[in-house]
Structure 1
Amino acid sequence: MSVRATARLRAEPDGRGSTVLPVLESDGPLALRRTRSPHPAYARVTVVGAMSAPLGGDRLAVRAEAADGARLTVDSAAATVALPGPLADGEPATYTVELHVGEGAVLRWLPEQLVSAHGSDLYQATRVELAATGRLLLREEQVLGRHGEPTGALTTRLTVHRAGRPLLDQQLAYGPGAPGGWDGPAVLGGHRAVGQLLLVDPAFGEAPPPARLLGPTAALTPLAGPAVLVTAVAADARLLRSILDDAMHELKACPE
């Protein structure tokens, strides 16, 4: 039997320089836990997997909001593994993330990797709505197959709107059923891990970082708005994380 579950959280400033969580609702395999933040002004929430998911046919969602002036970090306790399972009406599993960032708010969305196990079929969609003065740090990492196995079918889409206008709309597909060439030299070049780091900051409106390579398998691209996108591929999850961590450090992407 497939699972339907939606976890919700909302962060608000408490008026004393910290952030509180008036809404923190777990559901099904998505358990939300408040954890200690190294930054006093931030609330931190960790997503803990309470059961194996997503399986074929599951419909999972996380909805997170950083209200005006709030500061929120969301991470996860472990990688999310997309597993094979009985499909519902031939449809893949879906995992939807909806993020809302208010005026003067900061949201750092930093989950662990998504692993596409052999035989799985997953569609992941991340949708972000940012106010004009909101700031966002978002990391997504996909690992294509567990050790020694080919990847499952994985499609991911990242859509970001800022002040009601489109900022980024990107879709990637890998594995069985994906357009030909996804593993070729123009896309992954045989690498098994791929990731994106998106930083939206009004400060980039005056002086965005220039487009450039970040080593042999990563690139930084300024977007048509106060944002930059780092895209990277790597042989494995460890190397991918190292590339993205270096980019975060260079961009000073962890505001206090």
Structure 2
Amino acid sequence: MSLRATARIAADADGGLPLLVGDGPLALRRTRAQGSYTRVTVVGAMSAPLGGDRLAIEAEVRDGARLLVDAAAATLALPGRSTEPAAYDVRISVGEEGVLRWLPEQLVSVHGSELRMRTTVELAATARLVLREEQILGRHGEPSGTLVTRLTVRRAGRPLLDQELAFGPGAPGGWDGGAVLGGHRATGQLLVVDPAFAVKPVDARPIGEHAVVTPLAGPAALVTAVAPEALVLRGLLDAALADLAPC
């Protein structure tokens, strides 16, 4: 039987969490604060998402609030009894002067799985955002499952970024070719949105051999990276995070 579950977070400027509700496999825990950020950790309570599951997380960062969301472990997209793809939706809003650091662990696309993940973000004009996504295509020594991810971000009501990625046997041909992954099995993105970039834009530049920083109109910067494995990918994105958004 397929699972339906939605977890919800709301953060206030005084550090409070007026809404912190886990559901099904998405358990939420308030954990030790990191600097000035209220911190919430997503703890997987069971194996999910499986084929046919419909999971969601909704996060509201209210005006002036500072929230860090991370995870206790990687998320594994697994095959299930249903032939339907699993769906995982993340819906985020950040109010005026709000700050969100969304730093989950890796998403692992297990062989035989099919997952469609959608992340939608609405930002106020003075909001700041750090959002990291990491996709690991198969466990060690196995082929990837089918994974489709879409990231849509709007700032002050205007489109900032709308990007879709598709990997695995259900994706269009060429996804693992030289023009896309070049044989790598780990890929990730780091999006940083900061009004300060309007005054001092980020320069386009490479990070090592397999990552690049791209300035976006908005003001924002997008880091895109590929790597042979998860540890190398995290190192590339951590280096970019320290440079673009150290706190």
**How does the TM-score come out when normalised to structure 2?**
0.99
Question: How many pairs does the alignment contain?
Answer: 247
1:42-53 matches, within 5 Å, as 42-53=37-48
Question: Which deviations, in whole Å up to 9, do the C-alpha atoms of 1:156-215 show, x marking residues without a partner?
Answer: 000000000000000000001211100000000000000000000000011111111111
Q: Shift in Å at residue 38 of structure 1?
A: 2.4
User: Could you say what the CA RMSD is over the residues aligned between the two structures, in angstroms?
Assistant: 0.7
Which runs of 5 or more structure 2 residues have no equivalent in the other structure? none
2:20 matched to 1:24? yes
Q: Shift in Å at residue 140 of structure 1?
A: 0.3
Q: Shift in Å at residue 91 of structure 1?
A: 2.6
Matching residue of 1:6: 6
2:84 matched to 1:83? no
1:116 & 1:37 partners in 2: Cα distance? 31
What is the percent sequence identity of the aligned residues? 70
**How does the TM-score come out when normalised to structure 1?**
0.95
SS in 1 for 2:16: strand
1:69 & 1:187 partners in 2: Cα distance? 39
Matching residue of 2:58: 63
Question: Which deviations, in whole Å up to 9, do the C-alpha atoms of 1:99-125 show, x marking residues without a partner?
Answer: 100000000000000000000000000
2:207 & 2:25 partners in 1: Cα distance? 37
Which runs of 5 or more structure 1 residues have no equivalent in the other structure? none
1:237-252 matches, within 5 Å, as 237-251=230-244
Q: Of residues 130, 133, 136 in structure 1, which corresponds to 2:123?
A: 130
2:137 matched to 1:144? yes
1:1-256 matches, within 5 Å, as 1-14=1-14, 19-39=15-35, 41-87=36-82, 90-251=83-244, 253-255=245-247
Question: Which deviations, in whole Å up to 9, do the C-alpha atoms of 1:20-63 show, x marking residues without a partner?
Answer: 10100010000000000221x21100000000000000000000
1:136 & 1:75 partners in 2: Cα distance? 14
Over 6 Å off, 4+ runs:
none
Q: Shift in Å at residue 254 of structure 1?
A: 3.7
